[in-house]
Amino acid sequence: MNNWSVILSIAKTHLITKIKQTSTAALGVTFGIGSYITLVCFMTGLNGMLDDLILNQTPHVHIYNEIEPSKKQPASFIDDAKESFTVVHSIKPKLSQKKIHNALPIIKYLENTENIKGALPQIKTQIFYMAGSIELGGNLTGINPVDEAKLFNMQDYIVKGSAEALENSDNGILLGIGIARKMSLKVGDRVQVSPINGGIFPLKIVGFYQSGIADLDAIQSFTNIKTVQRILGKPKNYITDINVKLYNMEGAVALAQKIEQQFNLTAIDINTANAQFETGTTIRNLITYAVSITLLIVAGFGIYNILNMLIYEKMNDIAILRATGFSGKDVQLIFMSQAMIIGFIGGVLGLLIGFGLASLIDTIPFQTEALPTVETYPINMNPVFFVIGFSFAMLSTFLAGYLPSKKAKKIDPVRIIRGQ
C-alpha cells in the first residue's frame, strides 16, 4: 500500500517550494558533517604522526642486560643470620657483562617465533667525538641500518644520506645533526671517535641523523654493528641490546614476561615504556567526537524545528491528503522522507566539504624541527570516517524527523477541516 513515488513527489514538492528553509536545514547538517570529517581527519592524522614519532622508532620489546644489585645479597645465604636483624651498607651492583649472553641464538630463536616481525641486534656504547683537543661525549649505536630502516622507519630520521650508504660503508657513521653543527661537519668529512677504553678511530660521515629531540641529536650517532665491534675490540657475538618488532603490538607484554623468564634478561615492553601515550590519543579522539556530536545535535535541532514549522504550515494539506485516501502512515512517511532527503543532501555535501577542507589542510606547510620528514599538516583520510559521518547524518536527521512526523501522523483531519 505504500506508494513511494507519490510520497516522494509530495515530499520533493514541499522541499522545493520551501527551498530556503530546506537549504538552511541541509546546511546545518553539511556544517556538522563537514567539520566532523575535517576534525577527525586532522586529529587522527596528528595522532598518527605522534604515534609514528614515538611508536615507530620504539621497539615493541627491548631486551638488554640490566646492571643491578643481586636480588639475593650474600648476607641472606648465611643460615646463622636468618633469625637476626641484618644491615648491609652500600650495596653495589653486581659485576656482570653488558653484552647479552648467547645473543645470536636468541635472535634466531625470536625471529622464528610467531607474531614477531623481526629482532634486531644493537650495540650501545659511550664514545667521545674528537675535535682537535676538545672531546665531546656521546653515544654510538651499532645497528644493521637497512633492517632498522625497514622495521623502525630509520630513514624518516636520516636527513642527509641513507641507510644503504651506511650499510655499504665499512667505516661510515651516521652523525647526529647536533654534533655535526657543533663541529661544523658535512657529509663526506671524517670525524674521529674514541671509545672509553682508549684509541682513536676515524670514521667517514655518510649522513646526518635528526630525531627531533635536540638533546638526543647532540650526542647520538649510528654506525654498523661490525664497526662498533671493531672500535671496542669485541668479537662478533658482542650484542648489548635486542629490539623486537611485533606484528601485533598487543602481544608485547606477554612476550616481554616470557623473555625475562626464559633468558634471564630484562625485557621492557612498549606499553610500560610509553604508558602516558595512549592517554593523549584517547583524549584527542574524545574531543573530536564531542565537538562533532555537538555540531550534529545542533543541526538535528535545526531540522526538528524546520519540520515542526512545516507541519504546522501544512495542516490543511495533511487534512486533504487524509481525506483523499492517504493514511496517517503515508503522511508520516512524507515528512520522514523530507527529513531524510535533507539529511542525505546535507550529509553528502558535508562529506564533500570535509574532504575538501581536509585536502586543503593537507597542503598547508607545517615544518618543525621535531619532525624532519613532515612537510605539511598530517591528514588521515580514512574511508571509515566518511561512512561514520554519513551514517551519523542519516541517524540524526532520522531522529529529528521522527518526532514531528509522528505528530503529523496523529493529526485528526476532521478537526482541521471543521476548524476552518
Binding site for other proteins (CB under 8 A): 1, 3, 5-6, 9-10, 13-14, 17, 316-317, 319-330, 413-414, 417-418, 420
Cβ distance to other proteins smaller for residue 244 or 310 = 310
Q: Considering the complex, what minimum distance in angstroms separates the CB of residue 343 from other proteins?
A: 22
Cβ distance to other proteins smaller for residue 245 or 322 = 322
Contacts of 414 (CB under 8 A, 6+ apart): none
Cβ distance to other proteins smaller for residue 326 or 392 = 326
Cβ distance to other proteins smaller for residue 352 or 417 = 417
Report the half-sphere exposure of 264 (CA within 13 A, side-chain side).
7
Q: What are phi and psi of 242, to 5 degrees?
A: -125, 125
Q: Considering the complex, what minimum distance in angstroms separates the CB of residue 11 from other proteins?
A: 12
Q: Considering the complex, what minimum distance in angstroms separates the CB of residue 356 from other proteins?
A: 34
Q: Considering the complex, what minimum distance in angstroms separates the CB of residue 324 from other proteins?
A: 4
Report the half-sphere exposure of 79 (CA within 13 A, side-chain side).
0
Cβ distance to other proteins smaller for residue 62 or 314 = 314
Spatial contact of 31 and 233, defined as CB atoms under 8 Å apart? no
**What ranges in 270-373 are assigned the alpha helix state H?**
270-273, 275-313, 315-323, 328-363
CA distances from 393 to 13, 29, 36, 321, 401 (A): 22, 7, 10, 29, 12
Q: Considering the complex, what minimum distance in angstroms separates the CB of residue 404 from other proteins?
A: 19
Cβ distance to other proteins smaller for residue 11 or 100 = 11
Cβ distance to other proteins smaller for residue 7 or 231 = 7
CA distances from 143 to 126, 195, 242, 322 (A): 15, 17, 10, 81
Spatial contact of 56 and 374, defined as CB atoms under 8 Å apart? no
Q: Considering the complex, what minimum distance in angstroms separates the CB of residue 9 from other proteins?
A: 8
Q: Considering the complex, what minimum distance in angstroms separates the CB of residue 335 from other proteins?
A: 14
DSSP letter for each residue of 122-183: EEEEEEEEEETTEEEEEEEEEE-HHHHHHHH-GGGGEEES-HHHHHT-TTEEEEEHHHHHHT
Residue labelled with grid coordinates 505528530:
407
Spatial contact of 176 and 185, defined as CB atoms under 8 Å apart? no
